Amino acid sequence: MPELFNTLISNLELIYGRLNWLNLVDLMLVTMVFFGILLLLRDTQAMVLLRGILLLIVLISLLTTLEVLPAFSWLVRNTLPALLLAIPVIFAPEIRRTLERLGRAGSLLPSGIPAPDLQEAITAVVSATARLSDRRHGALIVMQRSDSLEEYVKTGVLIKAHVTPELLLQIFYPNTPLHDGAVIISGAKLVAASCVMPLSSSGVLTHSPDRQMGLRHRAALGISEVTDAVAVVVSEETGYISVVHAGRMIRRLDSERLENILRAFYRPYERRKGVRGWLERLVLRNPSEAREDR
């Protein structure tokens, strides 16, 4: 035991003797890369996969160091390159979303939409969801931001009408032709109804104690995972109002809190300049997070 301790001390002294400012910069850069990756993958199914892969790598490394297992060591050495090539396939959706966030880092808000139109649309959505919640009429409203939703608009029925609470109430009235699916709002226009949204495969709803969340909530999570849109959901079973963005869901909202959240998403955002501002736009999920820190 003392010999092992002395060996450890001597190794630490050797490392400290070779340490200089360039090595410190190198270590800081590597640390920032890993920290950024973990930050981008937080609260996603990729974190579960990442833990599994790390555990498998550690286990394989321990087994390959045993000289009593030469055949297994040979197998691992020859199959490891194939496993490394499989990682981009396994993490393809997460890599795609990360690249999309890098592309969106320069802009958080949709361009060309006047602020009064956005505020008018938000007021209409809040009023309609409150009345839908009281009546327990299910609804899924997707509000476009900077990402285009044209491919999802094509799956529904074009309307291109001014957003009003009465129009939303009529669309989501039970058993009407357009009530099944999502409506897409861009600015102050209700572009389309009965649109098909991608279903989430992240497993977030699987761990929820509430069993009332069904396809509408999965669709809201799904569209929030592949775009930067904001989805508002009204549960048909409970009447609860939820907001979904970037794969996160806030449930059991009242009208006042819903309006505050939506206005925070679409409020003009004062950007910080330089590297810090770019990193803030890349890492933060929504502008309101930045405002809370100031």
Q: Kindly report, residue by residue over 173-206, the tens digit of the pLDDT.
A: 998 989 889 999 998 899 999 999 988 866 555 5
C-alpha–C-alpha distance, residues 95 and 84, integer Å: 15
Nearest-angstrom CA–CA distance, 106 and 284: 13
Cα 220 from Cα 192, distance rounded (Å): 16
DSSP tag of 197: P
Is the pTM higher than 0.85? no
Q: Which residue has the tokens 């806030």?
A: 250
pLDDT at residue 136 tops 50: yes
The answer to whether residue 87 scores a pLDDT higher than 60 is yes
140 and 231 in contact (C-beta within 8 Å)? Answer: yes
Q: For residues 88 and 90, give the distance between their C-alpha atoms in angstroms, rounded to a whole number.
A: 6
Share above pLDDT 90 across residues of the chain, in percent, rounded to a whole number: 29
CA 147 to chain centre: 14
Where do the domains of the chain lie? 2-104, 115-268
The average pLDDT across 70-83 equals 72
Residue 252, strand partner residues: none
Percent pLDDT > 70 in the chain is: 64
Single-letter code of the amino acid located at 186: S
100 vs 260, residue with greater confidence? 260
pLDDT of residue 228: 84
In words, the CATH class of domain 115-268 is: alpha beta
Segment of 30-44, 65-79, 88-102, 231-245 carrying the highest mean pLDDT: 231-245
**Which of 5-9, 159-163, 288-292 ranks highest by mean pLDDT?**
159-163
**What is the reported pLDDT for 100?**
63
Task: Tell me the C-alpha distance between 185 and 166, whole Å.
Answer: 15
